[in-house]
Copies of this chain bind each other. A is one copy, B any other.
Amino acid sequence: MITRKAEYAIIILTELASHPRGTILTSKQISKNRSIPVNLVVQLLAVLKKAGWTTGIRGPAGGVILEQDPGKINLREVIEIIDGPIGITRCLFRDRPCHDRSHCSLRGVWAKAQQHMLNVLEGVTIQELADSTANDC
């Protein structure tokens, strides 16, 4: 399952993207605007920073700036950066592929189903979400 943290990360990026480029927002502001626990905002921003998408500015009057073009961040990327590789079943995820037999037809079905899901997620960017109206899930 796609975790809540991944959802939060997407929402955080969307919040940043819904302000003029270069705007500084604090964790507290993001937390308040989007109803996400502050601690989680901080925790997730650390990961987003590591991905090179945001920069942190310390001290009072500090905050976070969105560095990457939100039109170039798709949802799959965000999810995988937070949750790790996506896998709708164990055999697509961390377990060995089905007792090491590579041509199991069930595995093929899983892979196909997952790919169709990922195609949708890859097709949506943070920018597009920011352009829509309500995103505070």
Contact = CB atoms under 8 A, between A and B. Distances in A.
Interface of A: 1-2, 4, 7, 10-11, 14, 35, 75, 87-91, 93, 98-99, 101, 103-107, 109-110, 112-114, 116-121, 124, 129, 132-137
8 contacts: A2-B88, A2-B110, A4-B90, A101-B137, A105-B129, A105-B134, A112-B120, A113-B120
Contacts of A137: 91, 98-99, 101, 104, 106-107
Does more than half of chain A's interface fall in helix, strand or loop, or is it mixed?
Answer: helix
A75 B109 contact: yes
Given A1-B88, A88-B2, A133 B105 contact: yes
Identical chains in the assembly: 2
**Top 10 A-B pairs ranked by shortest CB distance?**
A98-B137, A105-B132, A113-B120, A117-B117, A116-B116, A104-B137, A113-B117, A2-B89, A106-B137, A109-B124
A106 B14 CA distance: 10
A56 to B, nearest CB: 25
A51 B98 CA distance: 27
A101 B136 CA distance: 9
A104 B1 contact: no
B4 A99 contact: no
